[in-house]
Structure 1
Amino acid sequence: MEKKKKKKSHFPFRLNLLFFSVFMLFSILILRLGFVQIVYGENFKRELERKEDITINNPVPRGKMFDSNHRVIVDNVPKRAITYTNMGASQKEMLDTAEKLAKLIVKNSDKMTEREKKDLWILKNQKEADSKITDKETTLFKAKKLKDNDLYKLKIDRITEEEINQLTAEDLEAWSIYLEFSRGYKFTPQIVKNEDVTPEEFAIVSENLQSLPGVDTTTDWERSYTFDTTLKSILGNVTKTEEGLPADQLDHFLSLGYNRNDRVGKSQLELQYEDILHGHKAKVKTVTDKQGNVIETEVVSNGKRGKDLVLTVDMDLQIAVEKIIEEELWALKKTPNTALLDRAYVVLLDPNNGAVLTMAGKRIVKNSMTGKLEMQDDALGTITTTYNVGSSVKGATILTGYKAGVLKPGTRIDDTGIKIKDTPLKKSYSYLGILNDVDALKLSSNVYMFHTAIRIGKGNYQFDQPLNLAPNTGEIIRNSFASFGLGSRTGIDLPNESSGLKGSSKLPGHMMDLVIGQYDTYSPMQLAQYISTIANGGNRMKPHIVKEIREPIDGTDELGPVFQEIKPTVLNTIDAEPGWMKQVQLGFKKVYQEQGGTAYRRFAGVSYSPAGKTGTAEAFYDGPERAKFGKEPPPVMNLSLVTYAPSTNPEVAMAVIVPWAYQGTNDNGANFLIGKRVMDTFFEMKNN
């Protein structure tokens, strides 16, 4: 019988395969661990230590401003400063540091609010503060009917003045320093003290920085003004340290890399040229360990202060013009019927390129403390305030008539007054005869302008009969006026320019008022742009107060190389035939240089050959005393003057506005008193 074959077992083979697999896995693991330790060991060690590199941006001084003669107008004055940078410290750590710093410096706590003092009292007297909460309130808190904030408010409300007075001067000083610490943002330097930091304070803090984590000593700055208040309202202001970024522009500035507590321009030139003046921040890399302690610092970039602005304004001329305005205003206030007179404005432009040579304004205000009248800078009023200016705009009216095809050079019109049914007679200051366009400007005929408006509106005038004008009459006139700068923003490189007020009525009488400057309102800068446009032959130039942007040179008042030159900009050119502009220029020349011209008596004999137009407008007073008069403010007379000189190849264009110059019928000539002295001064200074 054949023996059965014994079945072979596979167990040893499987076991060996398992052992081999385990061996291979352990081998791979050991190799991997060795690779990690040898190749990546240092990297993981640094990760374990959790060092952190943080770049801190430190602000730099702003760019300076210079006048056209390269004299410093706005500068930076260095100040010793003590700062704190929060590197992630706890409240207790910050308070400990504040208490140490309080022993080294004097910090005024007078600005602390009562609420801030109560917060400090609670921090220092926690048991007493807790005892101010009743059992009933505690029960409500446990029942989640009161929140932590509710309990804290109850504690605050129940702290007495006597308890607040328990706080010592040392407590308040340390707490005021802590409050400055806490106002800062993480990794952003916060000014703790930059006013009246003594050399001794600066030195002792510098010597103890290792025991004052986050504290540093540095150089801060503040704006200084070489010419005091001259042109100050145009130069603008910068936010203070405690203000930081304006709330309404916070997101905008943060997106540009600003810190929340950075100082920025908040008005006028400082605001308009913020991106130029701000500069590039210094960058410092700070290395911290896992506890947040600073291990080392490294300067990445020293930063660069902002670029400098060179203005078009000559400060000697600016000061001289301001002095003239002040002297004439004070003198006029001593004359009859000037109770409401309180301001005057002068703008000088280069009519060929739009450069602002002077923008001056002065306003008389009552000191709220003493009750006495004092003079205040109001140069900003040259672009932000608007007034009825009267006959100064008649050059634009004549040119509008030419463009509309209702006038031709030499067109003659009888100056007899105009009577519309059920309205008062509208006339010139006296009957001037039958006039052509040039003499209508020379003698300042209202009636000539009235007929121009009627013709533009396709009206059929008959004495003492109703008169209808086309509905778009005002639109035609205003669009034409705007091409000269009247009733539209001039485009000057400053914010918040006013365009003026436009009347809403379409009545024929108001359209007639519009063409003699007694309906819509215009700013001094608009008047200056308008007269410049006529002076240069028809180019409306964009006014600009910045001439150049220069690279900065630190540690000196010298100017660096030109970064950008502000070139003349023509906003538009008047659509006029060559002869039209010459007719208006001739009329303007006769105003000043031919007997009978409305400015001849005041300017007769001057050497600089002026041309231009005078203006008187009856307006309703809307100044600071307006509330005294109820619903019916008194009528007042606004005076204006537009001039350019010489009448051929002009070098300067001027606009003068004296609002509310007088009441009644006795013209005090305020526009001439100021304007004549300004033009005389300009050419005297130019020739010396």
Structure 2
Amino acid sequence: MGKKKRRKKGQLPFRINILFFVVFLMFSMLIMQLGVVQILNGEAFQEEIDRTIQDTTKIPVPRGKIYDSNHNVVVDNKPLYSITYTPAKGTQAEDRLKVAEKLATFISMDSEEYLDGITERNRQEYVYLKDTEDAEARVSDKEAEELSNSDYYNTVLERIPENQLNDFSKQQLEVIAIKKELDKAYSLTPQIVKNENVTAEEYAKVAEHLDVLPGINATTDWDREYPYKDTFKSLLGSITSQEQGIPADSEDYYMTRGYSRNDRVGRSGLEEYYEEVLRGRKEQIQYTTTKSGRVIDSETVVEGKRGKDLVLTVDMEFQEKVDQIVREELKAAKSKHPYANRFMEDAIAVVMNPKTGEILAASGQAYDKKDKEYTNAEHRTLYNANLPGSTVKGATVLAGLDSGVISPGQRFKDSPIKIGTGEEKSSYSNSLGSPNDIEALEKSSNVYMFYIALKMGGEHRYPFPNGSKASFDTAAWQQMRNYFQQFGLGVKTGIDYPYESVGYIGESGNSPGLLMDFAIGQYDSFTAMQMAQYVSTIANDGYRVRPHFLKEIREPGKSDEQLGSVYRSVDTEVLNKIEMDESFIKRVQQGFRQVATNGTASKYLADKDYMPAAKTGTAESSVVENGELVYTENLSLVGYAPYDDPEVAFAVIAPNTGIVTEQHQIQHMIGSRILDAYFDMKDGNDEESDQEENE
């Protein structure tokens, strides 16, 4: 029994020792693991602990291209080297200055654009950051206690001596210029620091030293390029610069649609109208940052895709020909009688397909009196409204026929009309006889249109007893304008463009004489685009179609040189059908045809084998010179061809031509030459197609 007890006492310490040893080993391993965690992986694990929510930034992509109807590039993207800055959250002014100083050793910012933009405030902030203690010493502790933080800071800056603000080296000025650009950046939003004239050497140096330039990146930006230079450019429009970014007055609109403040957007023309199509899809990168704002991980969550491409209805070769024609005839008109034509500043023309509404060309040529140069100003086809003269008489005749105040074939003796004590109103000639409705268009009788206006106003005496007071119902104004509006005169054409003028709508008044003026195009004013839609409606048997610049939208191509698949095509859209007997429209079409064969445009159009129809117009106009009104004329012409199956329509107006009617028929020259150019190109294209088929 005693021996057994001794053996039991001997076994117990041994087991305890083993247990202590195992515990010792476990603690040792735990301490070693803790050391590994703290010493080797401590920083990584701490970053994991300090991770914030993930933020997403959006990287701009190239805008869509713009092509003409033959798929020639009209607006392209030119790649540019670009240096950008994307600050982390919590980045301070001191941090940006350090980045600027490092970046200044790799890029040059010594151009006037950058250095002239440095303000006194920029200089003060630089001096303050370089020696904060010295700057703050100029404000006493007592003053500091009485000032708010912002007032204290402003006071410190204001007390920096002038000599410290002017004694900068070129290198220091470049640093200030760079920091100024860095200061514009928003957290996790790329801000362009320099994207003009970045050299390949600068790009390479920055790209090589990104590890010492926190937030800086060397990337590619894009600028718009115009292979046809200024041709059609004022209608193509423009985009904002990087400095401008999105317009301040539209910030909410763009920000809610995923834009950043420094994004470039269309600010005019087709660039603005089709912004949503051209903008593309930004590349989205998701960043994971520490609480201090340092980026520790990034991932592309949405691949970027450049904007869709636009294919226009305009043929740039034809557009260039039309520009040349308008410019040459404007020069010729001004040279024929320089003094009389000193007020002649422009000539405007629109060419469209009357059946589809496709704009084939839109030309505005402007003369700069100061520089004595001619420039493209195509936007005037939509912006400038002028008195159209007799070109609107087709609408007047149709108003008379449909309202029943005249009947087909009815005749009126073309003799002057005088209402009360007013001025006598007459046609341009006293030898027009007694025309019917068709002949009144052919010969451009004013008196015929006067009788239509008088009858619509309730005056039915014929011949009108000169010197008498005419009966007049003011409701005739709205009735007449309603007819005109069916053709697009006095209302928007509906064209795909951010702005178009509806012209000047004069006051109705109680005077029958004013309605008589309206009936011959001497009261309300219209744009060349409205006039083109008007004559197209007549050519198109009374169907008014919406004019449009866009033919189709294409997806980006697989390569930069090819178009992608069709995303959407623009179909013909009929806005309205003229509500009247079709035979009435046929009579006006016949009248327009006779204008070209026997009437006021026959000298220029009668021998054309493409069978044109047209209507001429001359409107009395005036300009102010030295406080006095000076008489001028607006010369206009509308037409289409072929007469029996129209495929092209046009409107031409040359405002303020002085007495050029006696010297140079600019409107006829432009109109006939445009039709010649159109059919010459068409015949040439047909011949090429035939040759290709034969081959």
SS of alignment partner, residue 253 of structure 1: helix
Relative to structure 1, the CA distance from residue 680 to residue 102 in structure 2 (aligned partners, 3 Å threshold; closer, same or farther) is same
Render the CA deviation track for 1:345-397: whole Å, top value 9, x for unaligned.
1100100010000001110114xxxx431111110000111000100000000
CA distance in 2 between partners of 1:664 and 1:199 (Å): 57
SS of alignment partner, residue 385 of structure 2: coil
Render the CA deviation track for 1:635-684: whole Å, top value 9, x for unaligned.
21000000100101011001000001124873631111211111111111
SS of alignment partner, residue 413 of structure 1: coil
CA distance in 1 between partners of 2:542 and 2:53 (Å): 65
Counterpart for residue 444 of structure 1: 444
Relative to structure 1, the CA distance from residue 297 to residue 153 in structure 2 (aligned partners, 3 Å threshold; closer, same or farther) is closer
CA distance in 2 between partners of 1:650 and 1:324 (Å): 22
CA distance in 2 between partners of 1:287 and 1:139 (Å): 44
Is contact 1:72–1:557 with CA below 8 Å preserved after alignment?
no
Aligned match of 2:123 in 96, 117, 131? 117
CA distance in 2 between partners of 1:590 and 1:248 (Å): 53
SS of alignment partner, residue 54 of structure 2: strand
Relative to structure 1, the CA distance from residue 659 to residue 665 in structure 2 (aligned partners, 3 Å threshold; closer, same or farther) is closer
Question: Normalising by structure 1, what TM-score?
Answer: 0.88
Counterpart for residue 681 of structure 1: 677
Counterpart for residue 95 of structure 2: 93
Question: Normalising by structure 2, what TM-score?
Answer: 0.87
Relative to structure 1, the CA distance from residue 143 to residue 217 in structure 2 (aligned partners, 3 Å threshold; closer, same or farther) is closer
Relative to structure 1, the CA distance from residue 171 to residue 296 in structure 2 (aligned partners, 3 Å threshold; closer, same or farther) is same
Counterpart for residue 635 of structure 1: 631
Counterpart for residue 351 of structure 2: 348
Q: Which moved more, 1:339-348 or 1:547-556?
A: 547-556
SS of alignment partner, residue 183 of structure 1: coil
Render the CA deviation track for 1:143-171: whole Å, top value 9, x for unaligned.
56xx5555655666666654322122222
CA distance in 2 between partners of 1:159 and 1:396 (Å): 75
Offset, 1:413: 1.1
Render the CA deviation track for 1:436-492: whole Å, top value 9, x for unaligned.
000000000000000000111112543201123111111111111011011111000
Aligned length, in residue pairs: 628
Unpaired runs of 5+ in structure 1?
Answer: 1-43
Counterpart for residue 233 of structure 1: 234
Counterpart for residue 565 of structure 2: 561
Is contact 1:662–1:668 with CA below 8 Å preserved after alignment?
no
CA distance in 1 between partners of 2:217 and 2:348 (Å): 48
Relative to structure 1, the CA distance from residue 520 to residue 676 in structure 2 (aligned partners, 3 Å threshold; closer, same or farther) is same
Offset, 1:604: 2.4
Is contact 2:557–2:564 with CA below 8 Å preserved after alignment?
yes
Render the CA deviation track for 1:319-355: whole Å, top value 9, x for unaligned.
0010111111122221221111110011001000100
Render the CA deviation track for 1:161-194: whole Å, top value 9, x for unaligned.
5432212222221222122112111111111111
Counterpart for residue 578 of structure 2: 574
Render the CA deviation track for 1:82-125: whole Å, top value 9, x for unaligned.
11111112221121111111111112332323432333234335
Render the CA deviation track for 1:494-550: whole Å, top value 9, x for unaligned.
011000001114211111000100100000000000000000100111000000000
SS of alignment partner, residue 414 of structure 1: coil
Unpaired runs of 5+ in structure 2?
Answer: 1-44, 685-695
SS of alignment partner, residue 351 of structure 2: strand
Relative to structure 1, the CA distance from residue 446 to residue 80 in structure 2 (aligned partners, 3 Å threshold; closer, same or farther) is same
Counterpart for residue 497 of structure 1: 500
**Equivalent AA in structure 1 for residue 353 of structure 2:** D
Kindly report structure 1 stretches of 4+ aligned residues shifted beyond 6 Å. 44-47, 138-141
Work out the percentage of aligned pairs sharing the same amino acid: 43
**Equivalent AA in structure 2 for residue 100 of structure 1:** K
CA distance in 2 between partners of 1:124 and 1:46 (Å): 31
Relative to structure 1, the CA distance from residue 115 to residue 90 in structure 2 (aligned partners, 3 Å threshold; closer, same or farther) is closer
Offset, 1:212: 1.2
**Equivalent AA in structure 2 for residue 119 of structure 1:** E
**Equivalent AA in structure 2 for residue 97 of structure 1:** V
Counterpart for residue 374 of structure 2: 375
CA distance in 2 between partners of 1:63 and 1:290 (Å): 39
CA distance in 1 between partners of 2:46 and 2:87 (Å): 27
> Over aligned residue pairs, what C-alpha RMSD do you find?
2.0
Alignment of 1:300-315 (within 5 A): 300-315=301-316
Counterpart for residue 479 of structure 2: 476
CA distance in 1 between partners of 2:471 and 2:257 (Å): 57
Counterpart for residue 268 of structure 2: 267
CA distance in 2 between partners of 1:413 and 1:544 (Å): 40
Render the CA deviation track for 1:14-36: whole Å, top value 9, x for unaligned.
xxxxxxxxxxxxxxxxxxxxxxx
Q: Which moved more, 1:580-589 or 1:550-559?
A: 550-559
Relative to structure 1, the CA distance from residue 449 to residue 83 in structure 2 (aligned partners, 3 Å threshold; closer, same or farther) is same
Relative to structure 1, the CA distance from residue 210 to residue 480 in structure 2 (aligned partners, 3 Å threshold; closer, same or farther) is same
**Equivalent AA in structure 2 for residue 64 of structure 1:** K
Offset, 1:46: 7.8
CA distance in 1 between partners of 2:127 and 2:459 (Å): 81
Counterpart for residue 203 of structure 1: 204
Alignment of 1:39-54 (within 5 A): 48-54=49-55
Is contact 1:636–1:664 with CA below 8 Å preserved after alignment?
no
Offset, 1:142: 4.6
